[in-house]
Amino acid sequence: MLCGCVYQFGSFGSSEGRTLSQQPVSKQIRGLIRLTRWKEYLPFVIPLTILGALLAAYHGDAYLDLRLIPVTLANIAAVAYAFMINDIEDAPDDALDPDRAARNPITMGEIDVKFGYNATRIVALFTLVLYAFGGTSVFLIGAATLLLSHLYSWRPVRLKAYPITDVVSHSLMLSGLLLMAGYYLYHSQPGVVWLVAAGATLFSVYGQLYNQLRDYEMDKEAGLHNTAIILGETNTRRVINLIIILALFCIVLAVLNNAFPIWLAGAFIAGIPISMLFRSETDMRGTQAIDASGTIQMQSMIVVNVVVLAWLGWALLTQFAII
């Protein structure tokens, strides 16, 4: 299943028909790094994983240990796999749009399809090995994340091309499952933490619908029938607003049910002025924001990172009796 299919695209962008063997090694390495698109997900994958672990330690009276490192790396690698396989499979579609083609190292001829697939196989194996450090439950969650990441873009299945399945698979593999991998590392009874997982998953649903709205015309031309295209632009905007409200409701309900230490409110408040230092007209992907929510995506991530970092610091300081 993880092997994928090799498609013959012809020459793209500035490659002018050059084969991979003709490309300088440095360019191939840069292309491979670009294929991972790591800048787009590190700001949320790392805090989501650590947040799951902190919630487990808090509610299960457990201590953090070194296993958190390989599991965090596994989540990063799993999402890298998702982005890599997506750009490989989307190369023919991306070639139709200059902006999307410029972001895809496959269409730009920096690496070829075969090289890209070989790299994803190595990443997939590395990911599973890392998840194994977390125990059976974490490994199964990780394997599910990796499988969804593959089926989301793989053309014989291509979950991203169909309504509902595109949103469900995206939100689970890029949010809910990442948090639960961190949680099940230390505890197996989520309880109120399900509200946190639901809130995180709903925010990911928002992110997916936002992305589909941004790429609406291009996806329509490519013949996709994803959720946004079925709903239409106006209805998609309405659903986005509803999803944001539901996500916030889940988080507020989790707070009221003592999912988090009360003192984290101070970290949250402190994170707001810090985030204001990073105002931007672009969204998390680095493209022009299509609405007001897009302009605060990075700022929201900064607040989340400040809160998680504060909690992690406090947990480690108290765990090792430093304070």
Do 15 and 115 meet the contact criterion of CB atoms below 8 Å apart?
no
Do 278 and 298 meet the contact criterion of CB atoms below 8 Å apart?
yes
In the prediction, which pLDDT does 321 show?
78
CA dihedral of residues 2, 152, 295, 276 (deg, nearest 10): -50
In the prediction, which pLDDT does 278 show?
87
Which sequence spans correspond to the domains of the chain?
38-319
Whole-structure pTM value: 0.89
CA distances from 94 to 13, 260, 287 (A): 10, 42, 15
**Whole-angstrom distance, CA of residue 111 vs CA of residue 249:** 44
Residues whose CB is less than 8 angstroms from the CB of residue 18 and which lie 6 or more positions away in sequence, other chains included: 11, 109
The per-residue pLDDT for range 305-319, each reduced to its tens digit, is 999 999 999 999 999
What band does 15 get if pLDDT is binned at 50, 70 and 90? very low
Q: Which fold has domain 38-319?
A: Farnesyl Diphosphate Synthase (1.10.600)
The per-residue pLDDT for range 103-134, each reduced to its tens digit, is 899 999 899 999 999 999 999 999 999 999 99
What band does 279 get if pLDDT is binned at 50, 70 and 90? confident
